Structure 1
C-alpha cells in the first residue's frame, strides 16, 4: 500500500528548478567572446575530458533535483553561466538526461564574458508557446554600457495551464556589492516591466521569476524593487547562517531564487499550486572534507581544477497538479 501511495503522490508533484552551472564553456575558441580561460591551451587546461566530465556531473545533479519527493526529474530547469546552445544540447544528451527529452530555449546575450541564461523543459509536461530575450541596459560610472545577461521570457503550458517564466542572471558584484547595487535594481525593474506587459494581456497570469540575482532575498533589489504585493518569495526563509546556495568568504548567500505570483497559493482543480521550496544540497554536491567541507563542490577554485559540479547549489519549487 505504501508503494502505491508514493507512486500516486509522485505523479502530482512537479519540480521547477534553477541552477547556475559555473562557467559551462565548450573547448572551442569563440572570437566574439572572452572564453580564452576555457580552452585546452589556457592556464586552466579546459580539455574535452574535463568538459565531458562536467557535462555528466551536471546531468546527474539535474536529474536528481526534487526527485526524492516527486519521483521524477525537474519538468522545468532555468540555467545560468552557459556559453551557447551547443553546451545545452550536450547537457540534455548526457546519459542521465537523454531519456527525459528536454527541449531548449536559448538566446545569445551581449554579456562580455559570453555567458547566457537558458531554459530546459520536458516536452512531455511543458508545451512551449512563446519566448523572447529582454535586454537589460546598465551603465558604468563613466557612462559606458556594461554588457550583461538578457532576461529570458518563456511562455508555455504546463499540463495545459499557461505559465510565464522569467530567467535571470543579474549584474555581478565583482566591483563591490554597494557600487554595483544600482545595476541589479535596474534588472529588477526590467522584470517588473515584463510582468506589467504580461498582466496587460492577462491580469490573472501565473508568473515565475527565477535566477541568480547576485543579491540575497533581503537585499533592496529583490525585496523592494522586484517582490511587491503581487509576488511571493519562498526563498526568504531558506537563507541561514549555516545554509544557502553559495558560500563566499565563509558566509552563506542565497543569490539563486525562484519567486512567483500569489495565485500559485490557490487551489483549483486541474491547476498547479505551490507545495514547497528548497535548496538542493545533497551530500554528493558538497566538498566532503577539509576546511571547506559542506560548501558546493565546484569545478575550479581560481585557476585550480577541482573537478566538481558548480560553485552554486540548485534551488527548486515543487508544484502540485491538483
Structure 2
C-alpha cells in the first residue's frame, strides 16, 4: 500500500516538472540589415569626384526633384525592413553606393525615417567614382564605441586604381559588444576571373581584422556585411573569409553564411543575364551560432523583396526596380534587394525598449 506522503511527493513532482517544462521563455529580438542604395548622389557637381552623370547637365539629367524622389523611395524601403518582428526596424543598417555624408543626412530626414532619429558613421573613401559605404544606426538600440576606415589597396605595378575602404564599427547592441565591417568589394569589371584577386584581397582585409579581434576575444560577435560582388560560393567568401553553412561553421575561427541555402535555391539579390546573383550578404562569426544563454544568437536571414520593389513587366520582370534605364529616371529604388538578419537572445527581465518574442 502506497503511503499518503508518497502520493503527495509524487503529485508535487508532477507539478514541478510541468511548471519547469511549461514555463515560457522570453527572447529579445533585433535585426541588422544591409542595402546597396544604387548611386545615391546629390545633384551638385563635386570637382573631386566622378559624379558628372548625376548632375542636372549630366547624362542622367539628375535634378533636385529626381534626387528628392530617390531619397523618398529608398526611405520607403528602409522604413519597412524587419518591422513585422521589430516595430522600430533594424538596430543598424550598412549601406553602399553613397556619394557623401550629406546624402545620408538627407536620407534619415525623410518622413519615413525621421522619427527614428538615426545617426551616421561615414568616412570618405578613395574610390575613383567617389562612392562610399556608410553605417546608419538607431541610438535607442546601438551605441558606437569605435569606428574607423580600413584601406583596401588594389594598386599594382604603379596603377592608380582605388576602391572603397572597409568601414569598421565596434559598438553595443543593446548592451552586448559587436564588431561590424561594412563592405563594397571591387566589381567584376573586366571579367569575374580576371578581377577575382581584388575581391580576395578585400576579403583578406576583413579576415585579418576579424582574426585580430578573435585573438584578443575568442567568441567575439563579428558581422561582415556588404555588396561583395561575389556569391556565397565564390573563393573570396567561402575560402578567404571561410564562410560556411552552419554545421561547418561551428568549428573555431569559421564564419556562418546563411545565404548559401538561398543561393543553392536560385534566390538572389540582383538579376543579370536571366540569372540571379546573391552579392548582398551578412556573414556572422560562429559566436552567433554557438548555444549560449543571454547572448545574441542567429535566428533568421531574409531578403527584403516586396512586390513594389520589383520590375512589373517586360524582359526584367521580377528583377529589382532600379532608378534609371538608359539614362532615364524610372522612379525606382535600387538594382539590389536588401538583406537582413534577425538576432535573438534569452532574457529574464524585459524592458520597454526591447522587442520581445516567446520561444521560437
If the TM-score is normalised by the length of the shorter chain, which range does it land in?
over 0.9
Distance 1:118 1:190 in 2: 17
**2:258 corresponds to which of 234, 244, 254:** 234
Confirm or deny: 8 A CA contact 1:118 1:167 kept in the other structure. Answer: yes
**2:339 corresponds to which of 297, 315, 320:** 315
Distance 1:169 1:238 in 2: 20
Confirm or deny: 8 A CA contact 1:241 1:252 kept in the other structure. Answer: no
**1:286 corresponds to which of 292, 307, 310:** 310
Long gaps (5+) in structure 2? 1-23, 244-252, 347-360
Confirm or deny: 8 A CA contact 1:14 1:321 kept in the other structure. Answer: no
Distance 1:111 1:186 in 2: 15
The range that moved more, 34-43 or 194-203, is 194-203
Confirm or deny: 8 A CA contact 2:219 2:286 kept in the other structure. Answer: no
Q: How many residues get paired?
A: 314
SS at match of 2:115: helix
Asked if 1:160 is matched to 2:184, the reply is: no
Distance 1:98 1:271 in 2: 30
> Which consecutive segments of 4 or more residues in structure 1 shift more than 3 A?
8-11, 266-270
The range that moved more, 220-229 or 253-262, is 220-229
Q: Which residue of 2 aligns with 1:223?
A: 238
Per-residue Cα deviation, 1:215-251 (whole angstroms, up to 9, x for no partner): 0001111110112552110011112565210001111
Distance 1:36 1:87 in 2: 16
Long gaps (5+) in structure 1? 1-7
TM-score w.r.t. length of structure 1: 0.93
- Check 1:10–1:309 CA distance in 2 against 1; reply closer, same or farther (3 A cut): farther
Distance 1:243 1:308 in 2: 21
Per-residue Cα deviation, 1:30-83 (whole angstroms, up to 9, x for no partner): 010100000011121101111111101111101111122333311110000000
Asked if 1:173 is matched to 2:188, the reply is: yes
**2:201 corresponds to which of 177, 180, 186:** 186
Confirm or deny: 8 A CA contact 2:183 2:227 kept in the other structure. Answer: yes
What is the aligned-residue RMSD (CA, Å)?
Answer: 1.8
Distance 2:161 2:25 in 1: 47
**Larger of the two Rg values belongs to structure:** 2
